[in-house]
Amino acid sequence: MKKQTDRISFLEKEIVKGDRVLDIGCWDGARVARLTKFCDAYGLDIDENKLNLAQEDIKKRLHVADITKKVPFKNKFDWAFCTEVIEHVKNDKKLISNCNKVLKKGGILILTTPKKINGLDFWDPAWVRWKLGFGERHYHYSKQELFSKLEKGGFYIERFYVGGSLRWLIFRWINVFLKYFIKTGKQINNLLEDGYFDWIIMAKKIK
């Protein structure tokens, strides 16, 4: 799911030339590669193997780091992206705190994560694997819980979207079948659509 960066690329259009941007959980640095064409972009990921997949010309901008621990940057950022990360982290309070610390006052956090749907959380194959003990943590957040955590962490929710239609969900399960049963690297790309399954949040640092 992390690699579906096109689902929020429309928000990247709000970044202005010269802005300083951090992509938290940057995977192979695809967003960093796009943004360095007009702004000062960096990335971090806990998995060095993912960073090794990055283009050679941006590797110096990527760092191995755990966002719930020390962050390797002294200068603060205008923007921070944290997409499909928080659901994997037990200490989400620390993650939000560190997202706040890396931003300038008035800086913007873009956060995405799966949405909790009472009684229907099995919509998410990653959640099912986690609950059955076969995968990493994959928590689902209700609106009240997630927004409260962000507000307590010093953020104001400027706006939010919900992405993922029924078609998006069907494609997600098809991708699971392709990856785990057919064992192919081919995947169907799920772009942003109105729906019910994923929080997409723009939050401003206010304290």
The position carrying tokens 């997202």 is 99
Average model confidence (pLDDT) across the chain: 90
Tokens representing residue 59 in the block: 């590797």
State pLDDT tens for residues 35-87. 999 999 999 999 999 999 999 999 999 999 999 998 889 899 999 999 999 99
Q: What is the pLDDT of residue 2?
A: 38
Give the pTM.
0.86
Output the 3-class SS for 93-129: HHHHHHHHHHEEEEEEEEEEEEECCCCCHHHCHHHHH
- 3 has pLDDT over 70: no
Has domain 5-115+139-164+195-205 been given CATH number 3.30.420.40?
no
Q: Are 29 and 61 in contact, with CB atoms under 8 Å apart?
A: yes
Query: With the C-alpha atoms ordered 67, 71, 73, 79, is the resulting torsion angle positive or negative?
Result: positive
Domain map of the chain by residue range?
A: 5-115+139-164+195-205
Q: CA 196 to CA 161: how far, in whole Å?
A: 10
% of the chain at pLDDT higher than 90:
68
